A and B are shown apart, each in its own frame.
Chain A
Amino acid sequence: MSTPVLELTDVTKRYGDFTAVNKINISIPQGSVYGFLGPNGAGKTTTIRMILDILRPDEGQIQVLGATSAMSVRDRIGYLPEEKGLYKKMKVWAIIAYFATLKGMGRREAKDKAFALLAKYGLSDFANASVESLSKGMGQKVQVLSSIAHEPELVILDEPFSGLDPVNQEVLEQLIRDLSANGQTVIFSTHVMQHAERLCERLLLITQGSKVFDGTVDEARAIIPRRIVLETRDDISPIRCLNGVLSVQEHAVDDESRLPGTRQWELYVKEQTDPQLILQHCFESGVSLSRFDFTQASLHDVFVHLVGQDAREHNFR
């Protein structure tokens, strides 16, 4: 395996008594799409700022593209900050070209690239408009383009989806896939698990400055047991004691259309358990089902499972 694009070793950042980031370790291989997940105030932005050498860690080491400081490889990194902003009076193409030239691109080349990107992502008509005339979402797209115009090897996007409408969210997802297909490494942070689920190969989940999960999406899903929802009027005790069923919970059924006496059960099953077997067992033991749902745990569930308590507490602090 090639050397990782980004490697954090025991990175810690404190503000006075408050530890914003606590001993984070990550290693991100080249060409991957990596998600930074975590509730508000978890330390995502602080971590990103440290990666970019805008902030210095109090402890630990950061290796970016083989360098100890992002500043020395800054022309190979693209960055979209969480709080978006552009020079209001500048023209759209000029601002994309400006940021590209700051990253070492030639003037002429940067201008051509700006127009090419605007055409590719449907913003040609706005190339000569001033930034202040753009809508918020459009401005955000422009800023995303300005962060990738210089074709960076590592692209870091802090909350790139917030504020975009569903259509543009898809455009952005496609853009991230394009980057990845091109061999560029993408790190992005988000609260919206669907994006992470669709895009990320690996993800990092942090809460209160500490890492709680680092791995593939499948590994994340495996954290939460699989879940089967049954609705029946019959006794389910034969299924309850099946091998592979971890726990059973009963839920009330509000739906008026169900026959009286119908009860809903939620079964948590082991990772390897085949839901087909349970269904088969229901038939064999004469349990007549009015509903049988098998759902794989979503990242959303994993997120809530792992950080739910912390996030709620944090909100009321």
Chain B
Amino acid sequence: MMCLSIWSDRTHGNTISDESFLMRVTLLIAWREYMENVKTKGFWIGVLLVPIVFFLIFHVSSRLATATPTRYYLLIDQSGEYAAAVETAIRREHQRRVMLDFMRYLQENRVDVDAASIRAEPAAQLNQLLDNFDNDEVAALDEWLASGGLDYALTMAQPYLRDDAPEFTEPRPQFVAAPLPPGVNPDADAQTVVGQLRPYLNGERRIDVAGDQVSLFALILIPADVDQDIVRPATIQGLMAPDSGPRGVQYWAGNLTDTRLSGAIQNSINSAIRQQEYASQGIDIAAVRNVQRTRLPLSRLDPGKAAGEEAVSLADTFRQWAPMGFVYLIFISLMQSVQYLLSNTIEEKSNRIIEVLLASVTPGELMMGKLLGIGITGITTILAWIGSFFVFIRLYQTVETAMIVQILDVLLSSDLIPYFIFYYLCCYALYAGIFLAIGSLCNTLKEAQSLMMPLMAVLVVPILTMSFIAQDPNGTLARVMSWIPLFTPFTMMNRAAAQPPMFDIVGTTVVLVISTAAVLWLSGRVFRQGILRSGQPPRIIELWRMLRRSAS
């Protein structure tokens, strides 16, 4: 409305003065702008990108996880003490995966998927298993193994599975022992053994496993005198000297990123060593294990919530972090709108369509129409994203999406949505005004890009500071940035979940609304002057003159 009033002086003594005609023209421009944007490839790429990313994350990543190749390892235990422990550890690691997969399978294919009701009837054996699994994975694994593993679990779960539940497929073992290649003497000294096996570890030679030529993933070499390397608290001084640390168990592998095997071995061997230590010191191992399993839970509580509901749930945690998601959403949507604002304005300028337009509409109407049309384009994109998200979680009902549904319920009922709508609109109007003014001064996108650079640098700031502000939402950085209008929508959105002081909310809103109005008013002037210009974009001083000219 602000803009309309700027040019209302052009409609004096006239036959067209009614607001409805002005509004009609503005809506016509907005409609054309919208329809033309919606027809572009860029719009559809933007709209479809998010569903595609969802699909990739949920579908392909799970496929990739199960598609990890079988790794072959070679265990040479010269000490003869730890081979059994390592093999057990690797079997246990495999069983852990079977159990994890089964738990997931169970949660997805139970008669009732609702996670809340699972906890509501903990009496059932199956629920006990799930409950154990949630609380203490190690204990759950022990119980799993003790009660007979997968076969037992399958039999027990059978009555609770949905009729259409697919067959459970046991994951393949990921780590398989390879036979010793011919010609390698396992009893030679460590250096010789490693030297002989190096070509296999480097991938130069392959090992024959039941007729298949496979590459060796890792060599675990436990030297005969490995017990001398056991680190006890008293020997820690020795560790300080450089290069003199004990090597202990040698884990040779070209792949440094997959640490599952090395981790499992380290844990299993240390656990075996500790058992020996307990035994040698006359401590009851069973008692120790029980003690180790003893735990005291920690409840995270929120002082801001009503009595009896203080427990911090996953959804609450999510709610704290959700504003960052909204800030991203504002940012991405703004970036998309900026592209349209610039390219459409510059098209009209460079094609000289602007002159015909200006014979039919005032610059104010043109600007309002553009702001509106492109704004609705941006909102359409966001709605399409949200819509595809909902379709997605309906189509893929997994443990994760069930959790997302819960989180969304919390989110939609929270006060974050009104914040988001308000800050989205203000942010759009503020920046769109500036970008439209830039577009009106430039004849090519290239010219526009150099003018846009400083603004882009400004826009990066809220994204860079986003996680700091989320961690300290009412800290100095957050409070200072809230009062800078260009940052207000982002920063206040970022702080929205942390109950910022009322003074901040009201004060920054007033400043933001006033600055948005001022920016739109100024951009309107620049737009009106700039839109008919040809040639280079003006320098600052020329811009100032232009503003003064349009004011006179």
Residues of A near any B CB (own CB < 8 A): 49, 52-55, 67-75, 77, 79-81, 83-90, 98-99, 101-104, 143, 146-147
What are the residues of chain A within 8 A of B17 when measuring CB–CB? 72
The chain A residue with its CB closest to the CB of B7 is A71
8 A-B contacts, Cβ less than 8 Å apart?
Answer: A72-B10, A72-B12, A72-B17, A74-B361, A75-B16, A81-B355, A88-B347, A146-B356
The chain A residue with its CB closest to the CB of B14 is A72
Residues of B near any A CB (own CB < 8 A): 10-17, 21, 24-25, 28-29, 32, 36, 39-40, 347-348, 350-353, 355-362, 532
Q: Sorted from nearest, which 7 A-B pairs have the closest CB atoms?
A: A72-B14, A85-B351, A83-B352, A85-B352, A81-B355, A79-B359, A102-B360
The chain B residue with its CB closest to the CB of A102 is B360
Cα–Cα distance between A143 and B355 once the two chains are bound (Å): 12
Q: Are A87 and B352 in contact (CB under 8 A)?
A: no
Q: Are B16 and A74 in contact (CB under 8 A)?
A: yes
The chain B residue with its CB closest to the CB of A53 is B10
Which residue of B11, B12, B355 contacts A54 across the interface (Cβ within 8 Å)?
A: B355
For the complex formed, measure the closest distance between the CB of B502 and the CB atoms of chain A, giving whole angstroms. 46
Q: Are B14 and A69 in contact (CB under 8 A)?
A: yes
Cα–Cα distance between A33 and B356 once the two chains are bound (Å): 21
Q: Are B359 and A54 in contact (CB under 8 A)?
A: yes
Which residue of A70, A71, A81, A89 contacts B36 across the interface (Cβ within 8 Å)?
A: A89
Q: Are A71 and B32 in contact (CB under 8 A)?
A: no
Q: Are B351 and A74 in contact (CB under 8 A)?
A: no
Cα–Cα distance between A126 and B358 once the two chains are bound (Å): 27
What are the residues of chain B within 8 A of A99 when measuring CB–CB? 356, 360
Q: Are A88 and B351 in contact (CB under 8 A)?
A: yes
Cα–Cα distance between A81 and B348 once the two chains are bound (Å): 13
What are the residues of chain A within 8 A of B361 when measuring CB–CB? 74, 102
Cα–Cα distance between A293 and B24 once the two chains are bound (Å): 62
Q: Are B15 and A72 in contact (CB under 8 A)?
A: yes
For the complex formed, measure the closest distance between the CB of A81 and the CB atoms of chain B, giving whole angstroms. 4
Contact A69-B12, Cβ < 8 Å, known A81-B352, A87-B351, A98-B32 = yes
Q: Are A52 and B347 in contact (CB under 8 A)?
A: no
Q: Are A73 and B358 in contact (CB under 8 A)?
A: no
For the complex formed, measure the closest distance between the CB of A271 and the CB atoms of chain B, giving whole angstroms. 41
Contact A85-B32, Cβ < 8 Å, known A67-B14, A69-B13, A72-B14 = no
Cα–Cα distance between A248 and B16 once the two chains are bound (Å): 60
Inter-chain pairs besides A84-B352, A87-B348, A99-B360, 7 sampled, C-beta below 8 Å: A69-B14, A72-B11, A74-B16, A81-B355, A98-B32, A104-B21, A143-B356
Contact A85-B360, Cβ < 8 Å, known A53-B10, A69-B11, A101-B28 = no
Q: Are A102 and B25 in contact (CB under 8 A)?
A: yes
For the complex formed, measure the closest distance between the CB of A86 and the CB atoms of chain B, giving whole angstroms. 6
What are the residues of chain B within 8 A of A67 when measuring CB–CB? 13-15
Cα–Cα distance between A147 and B28 once the two chains are bound (Å): 17
What are the residues of chain B within 8 A of A87 when measuring CB–CB? 36, 347-348, 351, 353
For the complex formed, measure the closest distance between the CB of A10 and the CB atoms of chain B, giving whole angstroms. 19
Cα–Cα distance between A121 and B361 once the two chains are bound (Å): 27
The chain A residue with its CB closest to the CB of B17 is A72
Cα–Cα distance between A157 and B474 once the two chains are bound (Å): 62
The chain B residue with its CB closest to the CB of A146 is B356
Q: Which of A52, A54, A55, A79 has the most CB of B within 10 A?
A: A54
Q: Which of A68, A72, A147 has the most CB of B within 10 A?
A: A72
For the complex formed, measure the closest distance between the CB of A9 and the CB atoms of chain B, giving whole angstroms. 16
What are the residues of chain B within 8 A of A146 when measuring CB–CB? 356
Cα–Cα distance between A49 and B359 once the two chains are bound (Å): 8
Q: Are B12 and A68 in contact (CB under 8 A)?
A: yes
Cα–Cα distance between A53 and B532 once the two chains are bound (Å): 13
The chain A residue with its CB closest to the CB of B532 is A54
What are the residues of chain B within 8 A of A83 when measuring CB–CB? 352, 355
Cα–Cα distance between A88 and B357 once the two chains are bound (Å): 15
Cα–Cα distance between A53 and B360 once the two chains are bound (Å): 10
Cα–Cα distance between A54 and B36 once the two chains are bound (Å): 26
What are the residues of chain B within 8 A of A86 when measuring CB–CB? 351, 353
Q: Which of A84, A88, A102 has the most CB of B within 10 A?
A: A102
Q: Are B353 and A85 in contact (CB under 8 A)?
A: yes
Cα–Cα distance between A143 and B353 once the two chains are bound (Å): 10
The chain B residue with its CB closest to the CB of A98 is B32
Cα–Cα distance between A72 and B9 once the two chains are bound (Å): 10
For the complex formed, measure the closest distance between the CB of A160 and the CB atoms of chain B, giving whole angstroms. 13
Q: Are B347 and A54 in contact (CB under 8 A)?
A: no
Which residue of A72, A74, A143 contacts B359 across the interface (Cβ within 8 Å)?
A: A74
The chain B residue with its CB closest to the CB of A107 is B28
The chain B residue with its CB closest to the CB of A74 is B360
The chain B residue with its CB closest to the CB of A89 is B36
For the complex formed, measure the closest distance between the CB of B372 and the CB atoms of chain A, giving whole angstroms. 15
Q: Are A71 and B351 in contact (CB under 8 A)?
A: no
The chain B residue with its CB closest to the CB of A131 is B351
What are the residues of chain A within 8 A of B362 when measuring CB–CB? 71
For the complex formed, measure the closest distance between the CB of A206 and the CB atoms of chain B, giving whole angstroms. 20
What are the residues of chain B within 8 A of A98 when measuring CB–CB? 28, 32
Cα–Cα distance between A125 and B12 once the two chains are bound (Å): 43
Q: Are A72 and B39 in contact (CB under 8 A)?
A: no
Cα–Cα distance between A225 and B356 once the two chains are bound (Å): 41
Cα–Cα distance between A146 and B362 once the two chains are bound (Å): 18
What are the residues of chain B within 8 A of A49 when measuring CB–CB? 355
Q: Are A72 and B13 in contact (CB under 8 A)?
A: yes
Cα–Cα distance between A104 and B350 once the two chains are bound (Å): 26
The chain A residue with its CB closest to the CB of B29 is A102
